[in-house]
Amino acid sequence: MNCKLNNGQVAVDDNSIMQRIHDRNESGLSDLIAAYGNQVFGMCSLIAVDTSDAEAVTSDVFLEIWNRPTCFDAQRGSLGSFLLTLARSRSLDRLRARRNYQRNLQNYCDATACERLTWGSSPEAGLVETEDQMRIREAVNQLPEDQRNALQLAFFAGLTHREIAERLSIPLGTIKTYIRKGLLHLRNTLADEFELGGCR
């Protein structure tokens, strides 16, 4: 099944891409990068401290799936979600490995409403936002501030729930509630608009 990308382009069938990667056919990797490279690089750029790190992690992500294609299980989710989750995870690993991580983290948490996150287009930084992304960002920005901060700290600063609770001096159970409510709110707000349950 071909899927429609955020930018309106029709993507090559994910199954075909993965089959060719399994077959060690370079065209599969090439198509994978064409379909998801910008998304993965965007994710890495958001978390990494600089472009060099973002490029290194992006490269690692694609090489990881090339070398171990069995790590993707189509039964557990879409290829796009898998790659973004992998990109986020590897970016956070690299961020944590930096010696000045704790200091940067403190600065990050001190910033009001996580200003560091670039929610929106930033041509000078090479970030391009599609209409869909703009709509999702609007929905995120409509979330109560506590929920939004908890989501951002959990997903893009790499803090565990317990770490968020300690830094924000809020009970752990409340943090989990914020995150759960935030995700469900997001889903409910956009369900009809995005025909959720589709290919991506």
Partner 1 sequence: MSDEAANRETNNNKMQRANHPDSSRDPISCESVQVLLVEYLMNELEDEPRQRVEGHLDDGCPQCKQQWQHLKTGKGLLLRAIPERELSQELRDKILASAVAARVDCGVPVRTPQVTEVLASGRKPAGRRRLESALLGLAMLACGVMLAPFIAGPRQDGASKIDVASNPPPEEIRVQADAPFGETPRLERSSRRPIAFVAGSADAVYLSMRGEAIFDYAAMQVHFFGSDFPPPPPGKDYVLWLQYQPDGPTHPAQTLQLSGDGRCKAIVNLAENDCYRVFITLEGNGGMPTSPTGERPLLLLQAS
Residue 180 makes contact with partner 1 by CB under 8 A: yes
- Binding track, positions 40-59, relative to partner 1; x by CB under 8 A: xxxx-xx-------xx--xx
Interface residues for partner 1 in 59-98 (CB under 8 A)?
59, 62-63, 66-67, 77-78, 80-81, 84-85, 88
Task: In whole angstroms, give the CA distance from residue 28 to residue 25.
Answer: 6
Residue 19 Cβ vs partner 1, minimum distance, rounded to whole Å: 8
Residue 129 makes contact with partner 1 by CB under 8 A: yes
95, 48 in Cβ contact below 8 A? yes
Task: In whole angstroms, give the CA distance from residue 13 to residue 1.
Answer: 5
Task: In whole angstroms, give the CA distance from residue 6 to residue 132.
Answer: 6
Nearer to partner 1, 17 or 154 (CB): 154
Residue 30 Cβ vs partner 1, minimum distance, rounded to whole Å: 6
* Structure tokens that stand for 3 in this block: 């899927």
Nearer to partner 1, 10 or 34 (CB): 34
Tell me how many residues contact partner 1 (CB under 8 A).
81
Task: In whole angstroms, give the CA distance from residue 107 to residue 85.
Answer: 24
146, 178 in Cβ contact below 8 A? yes
Residue 55 Cβ vs partner 1, minimum distance, rounded to whole Å: 6
Bridge partners of 122, per DSSP, are: 127
Count of residues making up the chain:
200
Task: In whole angstroms, give the CA distance from residue 91 to residue 129.
Answer: 20
- Of 3, 38, 101, 167, which lies in the binding site for partner 1, with binding defined by CB under 8 A? 38
- Of 12, 133, 153, 157, which lies in the binding site for partner 1, with binding defined by CB under 8 A? 133
- Of 125, 131, 142, 166, which lies in the binding site for partner 1, with binding defined by CB under 8 A? 125
